[in-house]
Amino acid sequence: MKTVEEIRAAIEAGVPGAGVEIVPNPGPAAQHSLLLDPERAVEVAIFLRDDPELALDFLSNVTGVDWLDKEISEKVKVTHQVTKTVNGVEQTVDESAEEVRKHVVPGYLEVVYHLYSMAKKDGGPVVLRMRTRNRTDKVELPSMTSIWRSAEFQEREVFDLYGVVFKGHPDLRRILMWEGFKDHPMRRDYVEPDDFEYEPTAHDAVLTRAKTHHEADAAKGEGQ
């Protein structure tokens, strides 16, 4: 199987201007991946499937990953001008101080595809990645179902559990959670509901949470 660089070169030759980057994978597994631009992803996918050299006809796995917003704080040396009295004379002097600056790196949802070749039967997976712009409103990505049918149920699962909307999917609805379920459970900031049934459990961690919910309901009932 070709290395990631060779595959990238082949994609650049087959689909010019596709904008594919290599995402290195630290650690011993060394399964490096290719980051696709969502605009050109479908063309790249068709090329990868139909190219006689690569013949990546088998989409093995579609995974969703949630990367939260990261707050990065760094210490910056800032100089500003201050009026001070030096030796009895008022002067404007440069004074440097250390400031802590925080900025937020926006998180995104990522979809990872693992491809193999059943025709060539060689080597490790070719890993493709696509990232959404953010986690809140720009969560659309193109669907690979028209190219590889195995993406049908797996993309539905990524939609259900992460909230990524796949454009061009024939039947995008929830698959594991029931219809009418709100929120996306596999996201890292998902808060579980705590309105459990009232039943004593062994060490009552669950019971205390349930009780707060039921007491609130009882108080509401009394208030009415």
Partner 1 sequence: MLGEGILKGLAETAKNFAGSYVSKERLTTVQYPEERIPTAENARVFPFLVFDGKDWESGLRCVACQICEKECPPKCIYIEKSKDKKPDYVGKPQFYPARFDIDVSVCMSCQICVEVCPFEAIKMNTEFELATDDRFGGLLLDRHKLAQSNEYYHKIHPTEAAEVDARLAEEKAKTEAKAKAAAAAAAAKASAAAAAPKPAESATEKLAEPPAKAAESESKQGGGGQ
Partner 2 sequence: MSGSVTELGFRLARQEGWNQSPVIERDTDTEQLEVAMGPHHPSTHGVFRMNVTLEGERIVRLKPVFGYLHRNHEKLGEGNSYLASMPYTDRLDYFCSLTNNWAYALAVEKLAGQAVPERAEYLRVILAELTRVQNHASAVGFLIQDMGASGTPLMYAFREREKILDLFESLTGSRMMCNYMRFGGCRVDASTEWLDRARTVVAGLPAFADEFEALLCKNEILMARTQGTGVLRPELAINAGVTGPMLRASGVNYDIRKVDHYGIYDRFSFKVPLGDHWDVYDRFMIRLLELRESVKILEQALKDIPAGPVMDPKAKIRGFRPKPGEAYGRIEAPKGELGFYLISDGGPDPYRYRVRPPSLINLTVLEDMCLGQNVADVVLILGSVDIVLGEVDR
**How far is residue 42's CA from residue 150's CA, in Å, rounded to a whole number?**
15
Among partner 2, partner 1, none, what does residue 106 contact (CB within 5–8 Å per kind)? none
- Member of 35, 38, 51, 58 binding partner 2 (CB under 8 A): 58
Indicate whether 202 belongs to the interface with partner 1 (CB under 8 A): yes
| Distance in Å, CB of 125 to partner 2, minimum | 5
**Is 135:69 a contact under the CB 8 Å cutoff?**
yes
**How far is residue 181's CA from residue 191's CA, in Å, rounded to a whole number?**
14
**Is 34:129 a contact under the CB 8 Å cutoff?**
yes
- Member of 20, 127, 164, 172 binding partner 2 (CB under 8 A): 127
Indicate whether 192 belongs to the interface with partner 1 (CB under 8 A): no
SS3 190: coil
Q: Using CB under 8 A as the criterion, what x/- string covers residues 40-59 for binding partner 1?
A: --------------------
**How far is residue 61's CA from residue 131's CA, in Å, rounded to a whole number?**
16
Name the burial class of residue 57, with classes exposed (0-12), middle (13-18) and buried (19+) by CB atoms within 10 angstroms of its CB: middle
**How far is residue 34's CA from residue 49's CA, in Å, rounded to a whole number?**
15
**Is 182:207 a contact under the CB 8 Å cutoff?**
no
Span interacting with partner 2, options 13-21, 55-63, 71-79, 132-140, rule CB under 8 A: 55-63
- Member of 70, 84, 101, 121 binding partner 2 (CB under 8 A): 121
**CB count, 10 Å around CB of 218?**
11
Indicate whether 35 belongs to the interface with partner 2 (CB under 8 A): no
Nearer to partner 1, 173 or 203 (CB): 203
Residue count at the site for partner 1 (CB under 8 A)?
A: 5
Which of 109, 84, 97, 220 has the alpha carbon at shortest distance from 163?
109
Indicate whether 90 belongs to the interface with partner 1 (CB under 8 A): no
Q: What is the contact surface with partner 2 in residues (CB under 8 A)? A: 25-29, 31, 57-61, 63, 65, 112, 114, 118, 121, 125, 127, 145-146, 148-154, 170, 174-178, 185-186
